[in-house]
Amino acid sequence: MSQSRILDLVKTQCRIFSLNFNPQRLRLGNKILRQRLRGPTLAAWYPKKTVSFRDLQNTYKPLGLTTFDEAEDDREEAIQIAKLRGKGRPKKKRTAAESRSAKKKK
């Protein structure tokens, strides 16, 4: 087979399989275009957020349904007890003047 026949064959092959016909073997960077995108698989490494109890609460509250969260209940109770003992959180300072006076006391 002659050289030109082989070239024609390769050209047809490239056309059929939608490959890049490059007999001079130039560096055209087509291997970059052939690569698959790795982003989606890399971004899926850590487990995504699923439905939490808080989400259920938020969806059912407007419908008038009450939910009971034991951990949240315990937390609020502990806060109430701390307040009674005078160990609650200090009141939030809203203005600059308030925060300044609070510092002076010390």
Partner 1 sequence: MSKVASMFHPKRLDLSGFVNTRLIRDHNKRNAFAQMEPERQALRYIIRNTSLPQRTRAQAQLQLSQMHCYTRPTQIKNRCVASGTARSVFRNFRLNRFQFRMQALAGELPGVKKASW
Chain positions contacting partner 1, by CB under 8 A: 26-33, 35, 37-40, 42-43, 45-50, 52
Token digits of residue 34: 């052939």
Token digits of residue 70: 């034991």
Beta-carbon neighbour count of residue 37 at 10 Å?
7
Residue 28 is classified by DSSP as -
**In contact, 25 and 36? CB cutoff 8 Å:** no
Looking at the Cβ atoms of 71 and 84, the one nearer to partner 1 is: 71
Least distance from partner 1 to the Cβ atom of residue 54, Å? 12
Looking at the Cβ atoms of 47 and 64, the one nearer to partner 1 is: 47
Looking at the Cβ atoms of 27 and 89, the one nearer to partner 1 is: 27
